[in-house]
Chains A and B, each alone.
Chain A
Amino acid sequence: GQNIDQPTEMTATEGAIVQINCTYQTSGFNGLFWYQQHAGEAPTFLSYNVLDGLEEKGRFSSFLSRSKGYSYLLLKELQMKDSASYLCAVSHAYSGAGSYQLTFGKGTKLSVIP
């Protein structure tokens, strides 16, 4: 089976750095996604890691360790608009290009305070 754990809630101050952790146990691992979701809106793609290491994209970075079943999303220079839920999702491929399903964690609700 698949199991993904991430903290339920986090609070951080505007301008600070926050790290959201995700641990997973899964079979057929084919990559890990991070999504941002504001209330009532679509999950928005943030990052994708398939190899170990750090992927940096502007203020957001994501890290993956496949041997440890561990990932984190790092948000720098926090802004009020970063208040949202952050979803960790593991990809399982089964056939063909683009053919995979995502297993999601419950999401981490981040509150950015002044």
Chain B
Amino acid sequence: EAGVTQFPSHSVIEKGQTVTLRCDPISGHDNLYWYRRVMGKEIKFLLHFVKESKQDESGMPNNRFLAERTGGTYSTLKVQPAELEDSGVYFCASSQLWGQFFGPGTRLTVL
């Protein structure tokens, strides 16, 4: 069974540019989560999808972040425009009943 995959693994962009991160959850998992780890800090929750619906987006930092999960399969997280403080590792996780399974993350660097 394939695990959670994320693309790209690394992204380096300049302040003000746009970046889109993609997450493909484990097949059949209805729940998809986005988390972020800023350097030196703990992993923090961003939002949660159940199928294509946003269940909880209380962790989204501001309106520069937009997450979608059209069709309830893969998800994208777009940052527009990116700021320096957005640098960090963005993790995606999926679950069915319990036990969130994480992807390898996308390391985003904003210069």
10 contacts between A and B (CB under 8 A): A33-B99, A35-B102, A40-B104, A41-B104, A94-B55, A94-B56, A98-B96, A101-B59, A102-B45, A105-B42
A103 interfacial contact with B, CB 8 Å: yes
* Interface residues in A1-49 (C-beta closer than 8 Å to B): 4, 31, 33, 35, 40-45, 48
Check B103–A42 contact: CB distance below 8 A. Answer: yes
A contact residues around B101 at 8 Å (CB): 45
B88 interfacial contact with A, CB 8 Å: no
- Tell me the bound Cα distance from A65 to B26 in angstroms: 32
Which residues of B does A touch, CB under 8 Å?
3-4, 30-31, 33, 35, 41-45, 48, 50, 55-56, 59, 91, 93, 95-105
Given A42-B4, A42-B91, A107-B42, A99–B102 Cβ distance below 8 Å?
no
Check A42–B56 contact: CB distance below 8 A. Answer: no
Check B100–A45 contact: CB distance below 8 A. Answer: yes
- Tell me the bound Cα distance from A87 to B102 in angstroms: 13
- Tell me the bound Cα distance from A95 to B99 in angstroms: 15
Closest A residue to B29 by CB, please name it. A98
A104 interfacial contact with B, CB 8 Å: yes
